[in-house]
Amino acid sequence: MAFDLYDLVNKYPPKQMMAVPLVLTLLGIIIIGANFMISGVPINLGIDFAGGTAVTVMSDDTPDQMEAYFAAYPLISIGEGLNRGNYIRFGPMSDEEFRSLSRDISARYPDAKIDQIGESFGQTLQQQALLALLFSFIGMAIIVFIAFRTAIPSIAVVFAALTDILITAAIMDVIGLPLSLGTTAALLMLIGYSVDSDILLTTRILKRQGKLEEKLKNAFRTGFIMTTTTLSAVLALLFVSWIGGIEIIMQIAAVLLIGLLIDLMNTWMFNAGLLKWYVQSGRSAKGVKR
């Protein structure tokens, strides 16, 4: 089955294979740019970075009832999960207001999870998250270059990771997933994951003997199952956290899910296309058959 799946893509010439991810990347940049123009940030910030309060409660109350109960506070949204779980977000408020809010919460919803981040702390977290993203990416690029020591395959891997993050970020914008500590962690993890299958592909194509088509097919067979196993673990995570109303895990799982799907496309269309072209054009080292 996996064979046929890949033939769907592989029958096209390399340039056409690469076109789809490139177009999506462009689209992603446009979406992120538009988001930046509208709200001043590439991805909408969750309370971790923007400041505010998030409350998870298990309750049979309807959103309307909750809205009425919390009318005195800067309520942003009420998200309903399965299994009575609700995720309520508030904007920034003063210490006084927050104290009174926590009293109100414990009065009506004693079994709640409350998280409150002040605006200035949120900004510090933002800076640190940005630095973390930057360091991760640079570190990943260095390792990839050390591992392959050739420009084009390395650039392909790094580029695939970059587009993974870009497109995932754009999708987050579209479906309204905020950038929080959890989703930042997931994006960082994507850097690691995206390189996984790329390295397998590149090693198989460049360091193994055999026919190119054959190697591509075999690499796909392995790589596809690799990503699928991770995907299935993530899917299980998403499912359980959705039922259990565990917002942070749900966010992490959602971003990983989107990112892994994008990674499948990027690896097997963009990266495979580029490698195919690279080998066919005879630029690779001797001994690698076309």
Partner 1 sequence: MTKDDTHPLMRDWRILVLIAALILSAASIYLLPPAFDKGIQGNVQLGLDLEGGSWIQLEYKAELVTFETTGSIEELVQGLSEDLDTEVTLIEANVVEIRKHFTQEELEPVFAGYGATITNYEIGVGPETAETVKRILEEKINRLGTRDAKVNTLTTFGGASRYIRIELAGVDMITAQEIVGQQGKFDIRIQTTGNETEHVLYGDAITSVGNPAQHPIGSGNWGVPFTINDEGAQALREAAIRTGATDRPTDHELMMLLDDEIVYSAPLSADLASRLKVEEVRNLVASTGVGENALNRAMILEIHLRAGALPVDVTIAGSGSVSAALGEHFKTMSIIAGIIALLTVGLVVYYRYREPSIVIPMLLINTSEIIILLGIARYFTQLDLAAIAGLIAVLGTSIDQLVVITDEVLHEGKVPSPNVYLKRLARALGIIIVAASTMIIAMLPLAVMDLSSLRGFAIITILGVLIGVVITRPAYGKIIMAILSR
**3 lines the binding site for partner 1 (CB under 8 A):** no
Site for partner 1 in 45-64 (CB under 8 A): 56, 58
Nearer to partner 1 by Cβ, of 14 and 220: the residue is 220
Site for partner 1 in 197-216 (CB under 8 A): 199-200, 203, 207
Q: Which two tokens stand for residue 70?
A: 């919390």
Query: What SS3 state is found at 282?
Result: coil
Binding-site size, partner 1 (CB under 8 A): 78
Is 193 in contact with 260 (CB distance < 8 Å)?
yes
Q: To the nearest whole angstrom, how small is the minimum distance from the Cβ of residue 86 to partner 1?
A: 12
**97 lines the binding site for partner 1 (CB under 8 A):** no
Query: What SS3 state is found at 85?
Result: strand
Count the Cβ atoms, other than its own, within 10 Å of residue 145.
16
Stretch that binds partner 1, among 9-17, 62-70, 245-253, 279-287 (CB under 8 A): 245-253
**5 lines the binding site for partner 1 (CB under 8 A):** no
Nearer to partner 1 by Cβ, of 155 and 189: the residue is 189
The residue behind tokens 């987050």 is: 172
Q: 182, 258, 259, 275: which one contacts partner 1 (CB under 8 A)?
A: 182
Q: 19, 41, 74, 113: which one contacts partner 1 (CB under 8 A)?
A: 113
Nearer to partner 1 by Cβ, of 207 and 290: the residue is 207
Q: To the nearest whole angstrom, how small is the minimum distance from the Cβ of residue 200 to partner 1?
A: 6
Please report the sign of the dihedral spanned by the C-alpha atoms of residue 95, residue 178, residue 231, residue 83: positive
Is 263 in contact with 164 (CB distance < 8 Å)?
yes
Nearer to partner 1 by Cβ, of 43 and 252: the residue is 252
